[in-house]
Amino acid sequence: MSVPSFSPLYRQIKDLLLESLRSGEWRPGEAIPSEIELAARFRVSQGTVRKAVDELAAENLLVRRQGKGTFVATHGEPQVRFRFLRLAPDSGEPVPTERQLLDFKRARAPADVARQLELRSGDPAVMLKRLLLFGGDPAILEETWLPGNLFKGLTAAAISEHKGALYNLFETQFGTRVVRAEEKLKAVAADAESAELLRVEAGHALLQVERLTFSYGSKRVEWRRSVYKTDRYFYRSDLG
């Protein structure tokens, strides 16, 4: 016999707030209504709203600003900016980061890409290849695939000219916010291309990271395969 599921009231309010974020009622960077206004809207206590907002803030979907209110988080926020950049120098000290666009093209999605992005094989897709350098040292080589229909106006020039994180470009220019990611990691040997671009010997040990990112409602945004040089860098993982 199945047991009826029960969702606490604050979780129900959280789901309603997520639906407003999904629908674009509040855009990245915009303030959401006050807790008092939300409590009146949903006919619940202010404490219930606060608990729902607290969870969304802990998940980096909302950000509280002292004396100003609560805002939809953006990838430009200091606490969010490096959330998805997991490689760091052994020293732990921040270093200047440079991004070089190596390739950009629109193509029909290969079968493996279509499967990852839940597209049909042959659907339009965008591929870009970039090199990330830390303090002038090439550290990450990445190949990224995006659904073509989601990023119709994306150009190589827009990527090259954008100074911030790629996800910040997604949300500011295309209204698509990356809210979570799944990753798979394994050790690989550098092939000829990655060895040349990362300035290592062919066969050098690299860390391969496959990342699938999602927007609200588990909508798939990006599939990325990267190789990381880790002889002077480490991969951060926040657990719990």
Give yes or no for a contact between 216 and 21, defined as CB atoms under 8 angstroms apart.
Answer: yes
Domains of the chain: 9-72 (1.10.10.10), 87-235 (3.40.1410.10)
pTM: 0.78
Q: CA-CA distance, 108 to 9, in Å (whole number)?
A: 45
Give yes or no for a contact between 89 and 77, defined as CB atoms under 8 angstroms apart.
Answer: no
Specify the pLDDT at position 103. 97
Specify the pLDDT at position 142. 96
**pLDDT tens-place values along the chain, 240 residues long:** 444 456 789 889 998 998 888 887 888 888 999 999 999 999 999 999 999 999 888 887 888 888 889 988 877 665 555 566 778 888 877 788 899 999 999 999 999 999 999 999 889 999 999 999 998 999 999 999 999 999 999 999 999 998 778 888 998 888 888 888 899 999 999 999 999 999 999 999 999 999 999 998 889 999 999 999 998 888 877 665
Specify the pLDDT at position 2. 45
Going by C-alpha positions, the residue among 130, 112, 134, 133 that lies closest to residue 121 is 112
Burial of 170 (0-12, 13-18, 19+ CB in 10 A): buried
Specify the pLDDT at position 159. 93
Q: CA-CA distance, 22 to 17, in Å (whole number)?
A: 9
Helix (H, G, I), strand (E, B) or coil at 71: strand
Q: Which tokens hold the place of 167?
A: 């996800």
- Indicate the helix (H) or strand (E) that contains 133: strand 124-134
Going by C-alpha positions, the residue among 201, 180, 199, 181 that lies closest to residue 189 is 201
Crossing angle (nearest 10°) for helices 9-23 and 35-42: 100
Q: CA-CA distance, 229 to 90, in Å (whole number)?
A: 12
Specify the pLDDT at position 91. 80
| SS3 of the chain: helix, strand, coil, percent, to 5 | 30, 30, 40
Q: Which residue has the tokens 């990527």?
A: 159
Q: Which amino acid is at 48?
A: T
**Angstrom distances, CA of residue 117 to CA of 73, 113, 159:** 24, 6, 21
